[in-house]
Amino acid sequence: MDINDLIKRVQQGDSEAFGQVYDIFAQRIFKYIRLKVQNKEQAEDILQEVFIKAYKGIAALKLEGLNFNAWLYRVASNTVNDHFRKKYRTPEILNIDDHQDISSSSSPQKDMEFRSEMSTVLAAFEDLSPIYRQVLELRFLQDLTIKETAHILSKSQLAIRLLQHRALKKVEGIISRTTQQ
């Protein structure tokens, strides 16, 4: 079933359709939240808040030209920001390696090389500005399109392409400096 058909059913008061929307998006939205919030229970609470806000806001959505995926990520992003505003002045950035599966390699040497490379990439990632980190998270960890990322961050597609390009160049420069030392 098309997502817009589900949204239309939700707007007509079908709570089962909203359950289907939840089933489709909850895991991806939770993963996005979990990248930003270290505490699992807090992330679950934020996820619940996101879907409460989505349920309340869905009635006002216009289906024509709607990118529901991007709209829901926007709600999630705003809810995470609200969480950090309430709790902290400067949000704590979560280390990516806490949530990435590292497959076991056949040799301890390869495993050590992989861990070394991963720590270099993570160190480079931590040196990025928050906007660069956010663009790379949405594009590569969440597998969102440039258009969806632009919508979530309230920027043009060109701005997202430029930010992504600059972020990747910066990561490349940081890694090359680190490996030369």
Question: What's the pLDDT tens digit per position in 102-123?
Answer: 554 456 777 677 677 777 777 7
103 and 116 inside one domain: yes
13 and 80 inside one domain: yes
According to the model, what pLDDT value does residue 30 have?
Answer: 94
1 and 81 inside one domain: yes
According to the model, what pLDDT value does residue 96 have?
Answer: 55
Flag whether pLDDT at 179 surpasses 90: no
According to the model, what pLDDT value does residue 91 have?
Answer: 42
Four-point Cα dihedral 100, 101, 103, 109, nearest 10:
40
List, for residues 91-102, the tens digit of each pLDDT value.
455 555 544 555
- The region that residue 154 occupies, defined by phi over 0 for left and psi between -120 and 50 for alpha, beta otherwise, is left
According to the model, what pLDDT value does residue 73 have?
Answer: 92
Cβ-contact 143, 85 below 8 angstroms: no
Residue 12 belongs to a domain with what CATH number?
1.10.1740.10
For residues 23-39, average pLDDT: 90
155 exposed, middle or buried (CB, 10 Å; 0-12, 13-18, 19+)? middle
- Domain around 80: 1-94
152 and 169 inside one domain: yes
The residue from 34, 60, 94 where one domain ends is: 94
pTM of the model: 0.58
50 and 9 inside one domain: yes
According to the model, what pLDDT value does residue 47 have?
Answer: 94
- Torsion sign over Cα 9, 10, 15, 16: positive
DSSP letters for 26-92: HHHHHHHHHHH---HHHHHHHHHHHHHHHHHHGGG---TT--HHHHHHHHHHHHHHHHHHHH-SSPP
9 and 28 inside one domain: yes
**Residues 27-41: b if buried by 16+ CB within 10 A, e if exposed:** ebbbebbbbbbeeee
Distance CA 135, CA 138 (A): 5
Mean confidence (pLDDT) of the chain: 82
**Residues 13-24: b if buried by 16+ CB within 10 A, e if exposed:** eeeebbeebeeb
List, for residues 54-85, the tens digit of each pLDDT value.
999 998 888 888 888 889 999 999 999 888 87
Cβ-contact 8, 14 below 8 angstroms: no
Residue 161 belongs to a domain with what CATH number?
1.10.10.10
Flag whether pLDDT at 50 surpasses 90: yes
Taking Cα atoms as reference points, which of 143, 154, 1 lies closest to residue 71?
154
111 and 46 inside one domain: no
According to the model, what pLDDT value does residue 28 have?
Answer: 92
Flag whether pLDDT at 90 surpasses 70: no
Higher pLDDT, 64 or 19: 19
Distance CA 67, CA 58 (A): 12
1 and 87 inside one domain: yes
3 and 29 inside one domain: yes
117 and 81 inside one domain: no
pLDDT band at 38 (very low <50, low <70, confident <90, very high): confident
pLDDT band at 51 (very low <50, low <70, confident <90, very high): very high
